[in-house]
Amino acid sequence: MPVVTFTTTLERHLAAPVSTVPGATVREALDEVFRANPRLRGYVLDDQGRVRKHVVVFVDGELVADRIRLTDPVRPSSAVFVMQALSGG
Residue 22 region by backbone torsions, left for phi larger than 0, else alpha for psi between -120 and 50, else beta: beta
pLDDT score recorded for residue 10? 80
* pLDDT tens string 12-34: 888 899 999 999 999 999 999 99
Tell whether domain 3-84 is in CATH 3.10.20.30. Answer: yes
- Number of H-type helices and E-type strands within the chain: 2, 5
* pLDDT tens string 4-13: 999 988 878 8
Pair 18, 26: CB distance under 8 Å = no
Please state whether the predicted TM-score (pTM) of the whole model is above 0.85.
yes
Name the residue ranges covered by the structural domains of the chain: 3-84
CA–CA–CA angle 18, 1, 29 (5° rounding)? 65
